[in-house]
Amino acid sequence: MTEVSVREIFKSYGKVEALRGVSFEAERGELFGIIGPDGAGKSTLFRILTTLLVADSGSATVAGHDVVKEYNAIRACVGYMPGRFSLYQDLTVEENMEFFASVFGTTVEENYDLVADIYRQIEPFKKRKAGKLSGGMKQKLALSCAMIHRPRVLFLDEPTTGVDPVSRKEFWQMLGRLKEEGITIVVSTPYMDEASLCDRIALIMEGRFIGIDTPRGIVAQYGAPLYAVRADRRGGLLNDLRGMEELEACYAFGNEVHITAKQESAETERRVAEALAAKGYGDVEVRRIEPTVEDCFMKLSRR
Ligand code: ADP
């Protein structure tokens, strides 16, 4: 069953075209990721789907309701965790929970079982002001507040941005458990490594989706042998590789440079290594690697 359906959404702020024809569908119980850099249009899309902003054109339904005509019905059945400012910093942990529950005409007790896994971890600090929590605890409280009315669909806008790696991992485990409850989750992230934790992902750039598939499907589309190159010097390495006629793509990737050849041959690794050695690089290593979602993003975004 389709829980979120988005058709050709456009939205501009004056001259800035934030969304330029975005379409996708998410099924009930699906964990759908929207992956892309700052400014790509993720928050704009979330605001439209949670009825806080109206698109210039296009249409969308959430839990079967039209986002414009039936905004009231949507507000009752979605949970939204915006990137920032979702908590009342001067209220305590339990006051925040009680506030969000009462806005939706329910109580914390009524839906405690749904949030228990997450909320129990912050309950020892329930008298603490939200503004005084650590980043990871704030995220847990914000997620608990977004879920306390037992929503059918959860929209989480960059829930792990600025959160430490351990809390990020825990957060994704919690999303996995919510999914098992049949809740549909649409989550955005700028972290490419989180893509593989989603059922399906959309890669977004400059207001457009440049790929939608399962993480494996996206990676399988890469379509060319990929190599990682490293050497004793990093300065100049990217530029020197970019100067090689036979290479198609060259981009920095952590401490290495990832490359693909225009014309793949059994000689590619050796030829690149020799060319770098001739330029005075030592410890040159060129090895074949499997592409990641980030490599696919780099490739698709060049088109
Ligand atoms: P993301 O969430 O991926 O960072 P946003 O949806 O916040 O992207 O922003 C998309 C584009 O729209 C950016 O260029 C941003 O600067 C612009 N933008 C977002 N909100 C506004 C606004 N209220 N007024 C003008 N421009 C905006």
What's the mean per-residue pLDDT of the chain? 92
Residue closest to 61 by CA, chosen among 187, 148, 152: 152
pLDDT tens-digit series, residues 144-191: 999 898 899 999 999 888 788 888 888 898 898 889 889 999 999 988
Pocket (CB within 6 angstroms of ligand 1): 13, 16, 18, 36, 38-44
Ranges of each domain in the chain: 2-219, 223-302
Read off the pTM. 0.90
Domain 2-219 maps to which CATH number in 3.40.50.720, 3.30.360.10, 3.40.50.300, 3.40.640.10?
3.40.50.300
pLDDT tens-digit series, residues 36-54: 999 999 999 999 999 999 9
Residue 216, sorted as left (phi over 0), alpha (psi -120 to 50) or beta, turns out to be alpha
Q: Are 261 and 226 in contact (CB under 8 A)?
A: no
**Cα-to-centroid distance, 52 and ligand 1 (Å):** 14
**Cα-to-centroid distance, 177 and ligand 1 (Å):** 31
Domain 223-302 maps to which CATH number in 3.30.70.100, 3.30.60.50, 3.40.630.10, 3.40.190.10?
3.30.70.100
pLDDT of residue 168: 86
Q: Are 82 and 121 in contact (CB under 8 A)?
A: no
Q: Which atom of ligand 1 is nearest to the CA of 83?
A: 2
